Each structure stands twice: as C-alpha cells, then as structure tokens.
C-alpha cells in the first residue's frame, strides 16, 4: 500500500498562487501592442514603497482610454474576484485547520508574491479573529496584530486598512481595538 500523501498548506498555497498567476497573466498580440504609454505608478498596493518608479504599460488592442483618465487599473479584476479571493479563502481555511499563526500566513502570502491589497488584508483580519476564537486571544492579541501589520505594510497605510475594516460589520469592533493600540504606540 503506497504511503499516504498529505498536502501541506505550503504546497497547496504554491499550487494556488501558480494557478492564479497563470490565469491572470495577460497575453498580448504583438500587432496590437505597438503603442505604449509611460505614467507614474500609483500607490494602490500596500507594498508599493519599493516600486515607485515610472512604469511602461502597453495599451490594449488600440484602446484610446488611458488608465490615468479612468483612474482604474483594470487588469486582473476578474481573476481577483474569481480566482485569487476564493483561493485565499480556501488557503486560510487550511491554515486555520493547521493552526498556523497569523504572521506565518502573511509571510507565506508575501513569499508567494500575493499583493497585500485591502481585500486580502480584510480576509486575513477575519482569519485572525477566527484564530483568536480557536486558540485564545493571548495567542494573537491586538498589539501582536498591529505589530504584524506594520511589518508587512507601511505604517502610513494603517488608516486605510482601518477605514476598510469600518465598512465590514464583523470587523468594526476589532478595528476600534486595533486603532487604539496603534495610536498608543505612536
């Protein structure tokens, strides 16, 4: 009888991230990509502090509307909603089952190149709440959560995360507690 094969969180995460990357990659036709435009990268992601240089973007299929005008970076929107978010939710369920600490989960997200955008961080904060319910508040107290957030996103982006948490009913009280701890540390 062959030995049983156990899929660990790390292997599962790698497969999910690779699948997400393959699905969300854009295939360009060389005939249609003759025009290019150069504009400064907007600070949309929390890990954008190292990527503030100008970016060369190819216009899609003769599209004349520039993303600066519409203020949207539309690439990957469908892949985010249909692949990335469900994959992150599933990997967080596996992490909770394996009792992975919240900072370990964020480290693995960063390791696999998952951008720490608001929607991903809100899912992670929901994971932290479930982790605290399962393991106890002492395992991941508010100071620990704020410290972990500051390790992975710039401190200037914390108010943005708190504002996004206010909009979620299940994260409102958690947001108030985290905001108190963050303001006390400053």
* Inter-helix orientation angle 85-97/118-135, to 10°: 20
Condensed to tens digits (0 to 9), the pLDDT of residues 116-164 reads 889 999 999 999 999 999 998 888 899 999 999 999 999 899 999 999 9
Residue 149 host element (H or E): helix 142-152
What band does 5 get if pLDDT is binned at 50, 70 and 90? low
> What is the DSSP code string of 55-72?
EEEEPSTT----HHHHT-
Nearest to 92 by CA among 117, 125, 115, 118: 125
| Residue bearing tokens 């107290």 | 141
Condensed to tens digits (0 to 9), the pLDDT of residues 31-66 reads 444 445 555 555 455 555 555 555 555 555 544 444
Please give the model's pTM, rounded to 2 decimal places. 0.61
Tell me the average pLDDT across 109-120. Answer: 90
Question: What per-residue confidence (pLDDT) applies to 31?
Answer: 42
Question: What per-residue confidence (pLDDT) applies to 69?
Answer: 43
Neighbours of 20 (CB within 10 A): 23
Question: What per-residue confidence (pLDDT) applies to 72?
Answer: 47
Q: Return d(Cα 70, Cα 88) in angstroms, integer.
A: 28
Q: Return d(Cα 105, Cα 82) in angstroms, integer.
A: 21
């Amino acid at each position: 009888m062959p030995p049983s094969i156990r899929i660990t969180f790390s292997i599962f995460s790698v497969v999910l991230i690779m699948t997400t990357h393959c699905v969300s990659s854009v295939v360009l036709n060389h005939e249609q990509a003759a025009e290019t435009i150069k504009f400064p990268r907007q600070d949309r992601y929390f890990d954008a502090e190292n990527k503030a240089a100008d970016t060369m973007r190819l216009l899609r299929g003769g599209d004349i509307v520039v993303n600066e005008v519409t203020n949207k970076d539309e690439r990957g929107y469908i892949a985010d909603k249909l692949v990335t978010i469900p994959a992150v939710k599933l990997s967080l369920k596996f992490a909770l089952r394996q009792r992975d600490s919240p900072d370990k989960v964020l480290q693995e997200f960063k390791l696999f190149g998952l951008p720490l955008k608001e929607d991903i961080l809100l899912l992670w904060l929901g994971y932290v709440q479930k982790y605290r319910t399962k393991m106890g508040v002492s395992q991941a107290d508010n100071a620990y959560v704020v410290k972990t957030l500051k390790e992975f996103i710039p401190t200037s982006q914390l108010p943005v995360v708190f504002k996004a948490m206010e909009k979620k009913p299940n994260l409102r009280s958690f947001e108030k507690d985290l905001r108190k701890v963050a303001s006390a540390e400053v």
